[in-house]
A and B are shown apart, each in its own frame.
Chain A
Amino acid sequence: MKNSVSRRIVVQRLVGLGGAAAAVPLIGAETKQSSAADHSMPEATARYLGSYPSELGGRSPHVELKRRPLADYASVTPLQDLSGTITPSDLHFERHHARIPDIDDSQHELLIHGMVERPLKFSVADLKRFPSVTRICFIECSGNLFTSATEHTTPQMLCGLTSQSEWTGVPLRTLFTEAGVKPKASWFLAEGGDAALMTRSIPLEKAMDDAFVAYAQNGEPVRPEQGFPCRLLLPGWEGNTNIKWLRRLELSDQPFMTREETSKYTDPLKNGTARQFSVVMDARSVITAPTYPARLERGWHEIQGLAWSGRGRIVRVDVSTNGGRRWHEATLQGPVLPKAHTRFTFPWKWDGRGAELMSRAVDETGYRQPTRKQLIKARGHGSVPYHLNPILAWIVQRDGQVLYRAEQWL
């Protein structure tokens, strides 16, 4: 009796959603359900062997995980389709300034020169002989917010220019000690081996703090689109400073004022100046589920997402389901690492009424993720597209459809 009532509800729902076409698979589902319910032993049914072991594993054919191209120079990580905090290497976002070079690691060398006692060149094999470090950290493009997004936007398309890996390599201070940094050196230039020989000037302080040259990503050699055979890793700093295909480091007593730190990656402000070397990524969070294009059913759901800060650990994420009128502390899934994506979760029972889901992060420096209004008030309307880390919102309509709450930036 109870069973037949629930089946009728299912029938009504499916007919309501899809009409006659949806009723076809329903018959099959119904049959299975009733045979499972009668608890008798099934008739003899052969089970089939699956595939053999293989040299290279792949994903289930039932799973679709894809980066999506933003342009011919960038692709974005499917944040809404991933769990935990490690981005599978083949889904790490891409941002190139002259496409992906094909570099033979046996021929690649890294030159350290300028204000050093001993200019040196290291092969990749040399780099692997130094004491190594392994650390999990995010890399995020400083332009990681699609300011023209419509309500039909996924987290991937909205802010998928952030990914996280476990990186292995040599601390930069170790390499610089090997070359002997002269006392007056205060900056260094990092240059890539791509066609554009991408360059950024980095304060020496960062090298002596936590910078390293990474040759491995998630246990394997760094992927070509991530800088094979070695890249600079500056935990917490904007993506473009983490120079890929790293081939040269030049010590200097001043910055070089390259194109990427003057005409690009600077932030004009309403007071008639432009902020330069604004390299640290401020704390932010983004809900990854439920988000567009999800359509919710009533009942329990887990709101979850990622929070991170370039200044240290995330200490707290709050979630609101009513557009910021009331906030609830979310659970942080450990380990909570500094300068790393941290997953937050919050169980939520949807009652069928309209809702607006938001998250806001706080990092260990006390920095609170700002609203769009606060950012614009502090910087000005023209201060786009870099370093936008506003609280984002997702609307849940009464029919269960989740939409991005699009905001006017320009």
Chain B
Amino acid sequence: MQSLIPLMRSISGAVVLVLALSGNSVAEAPLGLGRAVEQTEIDAWDIDVRPDGKGLPAGQGTVAHGEQVYAQYCLSCHGEAGKGGINDQLVGRIPFDAFPFGSDPGKTKTVGNYWPYATTLFDYIRRAMPYSSPGVLSNEEVYSVTAYLLYLNRIVSQDTIIDADTLPTVRMPARDRFVIDDRTRTESFLRQ
């Protein structure tokens, strides 16, 4: 029985060799798998928004309308005027727009003092809020509640219209605070 094992190995080796020589066992991309999609199918899913505004839909929002939307959908978790709720505090600035978070763990990060891009607000609210029923807000409602939160953070004025043109131009206080991961350089003392 033992002597059969090497024999079986050599047979299976020969089979592998033959398959390899037949030339059709190497898959070369593209394999022609998957199906082509229409632009309408892409549009139905493609809801992301970039900092340059790419992806923002038609429509517009106002601070006043945003206050109503906020009261209906957001206030129960995020509190009156974006503070004091059971979930993330959304409103708050730090004098001189300082950025003390690295040295002071007691400071609360908010849209006004930490978020670098206003477009992220629209993208995130539209995709994920309100938490228990994301997707219920219309684009106008998302624009409006975005406008309201920017207003509460004293980043835009009360009469600002927020739309695909204006939102990417809103400059956030923490815009220049972010650096791409530099640990391999700044924490190189941990390397032998």
Chain A residues with CB under 8 Å of chain B are: 97-98, 111-113, 118-122, 126, 129-131, 174, 177-180, 189, 191, 195-199, 247-248, 250, 252, 254, 256-259, 262-263, 266, 268-280, 282, 362, 365-370, 374, 378-384, 409-410
Contacts and interface: CB of A to CB of B under 8 A. Distances in A.
A37 B47 CA distance: 76
B154 interface: no
Contacts of A191: 45, 48
Contacts of A362: 192
The winner among B31, B48, B135 for most chain A CB atoms within 10 A is: B48
B51 interface: yes
A113 B103 CA distance: 42
B102 A111 contact: no
Contact of B30 (A177, A199, A367, A380): A177
Given A122-B34, A259-B120, A366 B192 contact: yes
Contacts of B131: 98, 196
A380 B131 CA distance: 32
B177 A273 contact: yes
B181 A275 contact: yes
A366 B116 CA distance: 34
Contact of A275 (B103, B109, B128, B182): B182
Given A120-B36, A379-B102, A382-B102, A257 B117 contact: yes
Interface stretch (B58-66, B139-147, B183-191): B183-191
B34 A381 contact: no
A174 B103 CA distance: 44
A262 B120 contact: yes
Contacts, number: 184
A119 B37 contact: yes
B190 A368 contact: yes
A116 B1 CA distance: 56
Given A120-B34, A120-B35, A382-B103, 5 more contacts: A119-B36, A131-B27, A178-B31, A178-B34, A196-B127
Interface in B7-46: 27, 29-31, 33-37, 41-42, 45-46
Contacts of B182: 275
Contact of B99 (A272, A369, A374): A272
B16 to A, nearest CB: 16
Interface in B89-133: 98-107, 109, 111, 114-117, 119-120, 123-124, 127-128, 131
Contact of A122 (B33, B46, B50): B33
Contact of A130 (B33, B35, B102): B33
Contacts of A279: 181
22 contacts: A97-B128, A98-B128, A130-B27, A174-B29, A178-B33, A191-B48, A196-B134, A198-B128, A257-B120, A262-B120, A272-B98, A273-B99, A273-B179, A274-B178, A275-B180, A276-B181, A367-B191, A374-B189, A378-B186, A378-B189, A380-B102, A381-B102
Contacts of A97: 128
Interface residues of B, number: 58
A113 to B, nearest CB: 5
A383 B102 contact: yes
A276 B37 contact: no
Q: Which 7 A-B pairs have the closest CB atoms?
A: A268-B101, A380-B102, A196-B128, A120-B34, A259-B124, A177-B29, A278-B181
B50 A382 contact: no
A248 B104 CA distance: 38
Contacts of A370: 187, 190
B37 A111 contact: yes
B57 to A, nearest CB: 15
The winner among A174, A195, A263, A275 for most chain B CB atoms within 10 A is: A263
Contact of A272 (B36, B100, B115, B190): B100
A248 B117 contact: no
A258 B98 CA distance: 23
A381 B33 contact: no
Contacts of A118: 30, 36
B37 A280 contact: no
Contacts of B181: 275-280
The winner among A367, A383, A409 for most chain B CB atoms within 10 A is: A367
B48 A121 contact: no
A383 B181 CA distance: 14
